[in-house]
Chain A
Amino acid sequence: MIAIIDYGMGNLFSLSSSLKSLGYEVEITADPERLRAADKLFLPGVGAFRDAQERLFSTGLADVIRGLAAEGKPLMGICLGMQLLFDKSYEYGEYEGLGLIPGTVVPMEGSIAPELKIPQIGWNALHFTGLEHPAFADTKEGEFVYFVHSYYATECDPYVIATTEYGKELTAAVAKDNVCGCQFHPEKSGEVGLRLLDAFCKQ
């Protein structure tokens, strides 16, 4: 069973549907026992880092996720869910993340060319760094995926699996042992995204 962690941030319909279309049994849950019972975990998320962080910490889910990650359960963060994996974010202040992957999340504003639009919305190409991880084993150099974001992860070089070019090289995918993340939305990235989700789930 694949569990999608439900903490009230964002639309889980597409992620759930795409996993089901691949033939996986999916549960959307915040129950620690169900999360423990799952073979793989997804941490999704759309919205503000502060709100998401607050919900994870105030409900105790943060400790549950950290515990399961420490035990080696495969975990994939998507979009804001990926950003939450890092130590901290500077979105409207400074907020602590889950600290599962070393790095920080910073605004694109001011660090990319001013004529570029923020958020980055649309399809952009993945460029692989050479670092390998089973979740990304079936994704190829130059394949396009769908991004929607205004912040990006930095100071995480040793864990960057792939980048994307938007005024500069932005972190697109990261991994550290059993924990990985995508800044883009695999559940909205057509066949490329489905292949990636499948690779993560079947590892």
Chain B
Amino acid sequence: MITKRIIPCLDVRDGRVVKGVNFEGVQDVSDPVELARHYSESGADELVFYDITASFEGRKLFTDILTRTASQIFIPLTVGGGINTLDDFDRVLSCGADKVSVNSGAIRNPDLVGEAAKRFGDQCVVISADVKRVDGTFHVFAKGGREDTGMGGIEWIRRCVDNGAGEVVLNSIDTDGVKNGFDLEMLQAVCDVVNVPVIASGGAGGIDHFVELFRSIPTVDAGLAASIFHFGEVEIRDLKKALRDNGINVRL
């Protein structure tokens, strides 16, 4: 059967990885290519590169490092950050990205998901949603979680999937950074309404949280995290062994 995926997310600014500590054998943890290779060799199933640059020069550095990474590391690469137009899709796909994740860009222009799916295929379009509880209901937030759109989060995600998004990254703002586990309630609500892969993001603090995630919600396909991997708190190989020992199918 298909395996559950473990996905480290690398935030890149001006061509360098933000956050990150020392790993054995990795000379420069702020070099995206080196870090990507380390993760690939440690058993990561996929990598997400998130461009947090605002400047034009930074964008250029980002595509340069994307090209360098994609020409050396042969696992799926998803790219997000600053994707607002079909040209942005083109720009990162031609540098070797396999999937492109859209967030605020899709909120600003709701046709973007459908147009991108038509041009590049559903499998290529990932809707990434930052969702937070407001007065007991799930709201989708824009601009890196700073702006409440007032739209229902679950409905928003369903609409994007109906328009052709082939995968969902659900980032719970409520659990993000708390390291107390994934937002199981929110994830379940999304899994109940879509039939494309759902990637859980926000809240992982340790191996147990991934075990809990996949055991509680068998329809979740992948777990994504950043700091616990970058800071060496969780080794991907140990995580996968623990998942396998708990009866969860992983690639080892």
Is B158 located at the chain interface by the 8 A CB criterion?
no
Residues of A near B2 (CB, < 8 A) are 120, 122-124, 147, 166
Query: With the chains together, A20 CA to B93 CA distance in Å?
Result: 19
Known: A123-B5, A166-B1. A117 touches B196 (CB 8 A): yes
Q: Which of B70, B195, B251 contacts A123, CB < 8 Å?
A: B251
Once bound together, how far apart are the Cα atoms of A115 and B218, in whole Å? 11
A188 to B219, CA, bound (A): 24
Given A117-B195, A121-B166, check contact A13 B72 (CB 8 Å). Answer: no
> Given A117-B196, A146-B76 in contact, is the A13-B5 Cβ separation under 8 Å?
no
The answer to the question of A91 belonging to the interface, with a C-beta cut-off of 8 Å to chain B, is: no
Q: Is A117 in contact with B221, judged by CB distance below 8 angstroms?
A: yes
Task: Say if the beta carbon of B58 comes within 8 Å of chain A.
Answer: no
B40 at the interface (CB under 8 A from A): yes
Whether a CB of chain A sits under 8 angstroms from the CB of B71 is yes
Indicate with 1 or 0, residue by residue over A86-101, a CB within 8 angstroms of chain B CB atoms: 0000000000000000
Are B98's CB and A11's CB within 8 A?
yes
Tell me, yes or no, whether A118 is within 8 Å of chain B by CB: yes
User: Are A121 and B197 closer than 8 Å at their CB atoms?
Assistant: yes
Complex: chain B residue closest to A146, CB-CB = B76
Within B37-51, the residues touching A (CB, 8 Å) are 40, 45
Complex contacts, A53 vs chain B, CB 8 Å: none
Q: Is B3 in contact with A188, judged by CB distance below 8 angstroms?
A: no
Once the chains bind, are A117 and B45 in contact (CB under 8 Å)? no
Given A148-B123, A190-B40, residue A17 in contact with residue B71 (CB < 8 A): yes
B82 at interface (Cβ–Cβ under 8 A)?
A: no
Closest to A21 in B: B72
- Using A21-B72, A118-B195 as known contacts, say yes or no to A165 and B1 having CB atoms under 8 A apart: yes
B49-71 CB mask vs A (1 if < 8 Å, else 0) is: 00000000000000000000011
- The answer to whether A122 and B74 touch (CB under 8 A), given A46-B121, A47-B121, is no
Instruction: Please tell me if B176 contacts chain A, counting CB pairs below 8 Å.
Output: no
Tell yes or no: B122 within 8 A of A by CB.
yes
Q: Count of A residues near B, CB < 8 Å?
A: 31
Q: Is the CB of A194 within 8 A of B167?
A: no
Bound-state CA distance A120–B1 (Å) is: 10
Instruction: Tell me if A144 counts as interface (CB < 8 A to partner B).
Output: yes
At the interface, yes or no: A178 with Cβ under 8 Å from chain B? no
CB <8 Å contact, B251 and A121: no
Cβ of A14 < 8 Å from any Cβ of B?
Answer: yes
Closest Cβ–Cβ distance, residue A77 to chain B (whole Å)? 17
- Tell me, in angstroms, the Cα distance from A203 to B76 when the chains sit together: 27
Residue of B nearest to A46 (CB): B121
Query: What are some 19 contacts across the A-B interface (CB < 8 A)?
Result: A13-B70, A13-B71, A13-B96, A17-B74, A21-B72, A46-B121, A47-B121, A117-B195, A119-B166, A121-B167, A122-B45, A122-B222, A124-B1, A124-B3, A125-B1, A146-B75, A146-B76, A188-B74, A188-B98
Query: When A and B form their complex, which 8 residue pairs have the shortest distance between CB atoms, in order from nearest?
Result: A17-B71, A144-B251, A13-B96, A123-B251, A124-B2, A122-B2, A148-B123, A123-B3
